[in-house]
Structure 1
């Protein structure tokens, strides 16, 4: 795992506003992901924290209207597949 950015904390580069037909895709290995929206195409409003949830059809910023959609990362040797309902830890 050395040299891998397993937390994926880099800012998203969004150049066009997401819509229901063409949402901004948010990849995650967990059933939810927290996203700080500042507006599209950038810094149109204060940070609005959203919870992007795999069980939602989409999530929308109530400040700028950008539409986000949860999507699973492809599983690899370091992370198992994410099933509906999330990962189970025992």
Structure 2
């Protein structure tokens, strides 16, 4: 797994503001994911940390209004067994 970013920590490039009809998709292997929004499209505010939750229809930044939607990662053949990372 050397060289693989299994935690997907790279910044998400958001070029247009997400809406309810076309939200910014946040992929996760966990039921929640923290996202730092800095304003869409031009970093219009300080970082605002949001909790993107699979049980929510959508989540919205209260600073810029960008709409986010949690979506599950599909099992990935590049990371065999990744679905069991939290199993002990």
TM-score (norm 1): 0.86
Q: Aligned partners of 2:37, 2:83: CA distance in 1, in Å?
A: 28
Q: What is the CA RMSD across the aligned residues, in angstroms?
A: 1.8
Number of the residue aligned with 2:32: 32
- Provide, for residues 22-80 of structure 1, a one-character-per-residue CA deviation record: whole Å limited to 9, x for no partner: 00000000000000000001310010000000000000000000000000111132322
Q: Is residue 2:52 matched to residue 1:49? A: no
Q: CA deviation at 1:6?
A: 0.5
Unaligned 5+ residue runs, structure 2?
none
Aligned residues: 85
* Structure 2 residue matching 1:80: 3-state secondary structure: helix
Q: Which moved more, 1:2-11 or 1:64-73?
A: 2-11
Unaligned 5+ residue runs, structure 1?
82-86
Alignment map for 1:1-90 (pairs within 5 Å): 1-76=1-76, 77-80=80-83, 89=87
* Structure 2 residue matching 1:50: 3-state secondary structure: strand
Q: Aligned partners of 2:81, 2:30: CA distance in 1, in Å?
A: 14
Q: CA deviation at 1:88?
A: 7.3
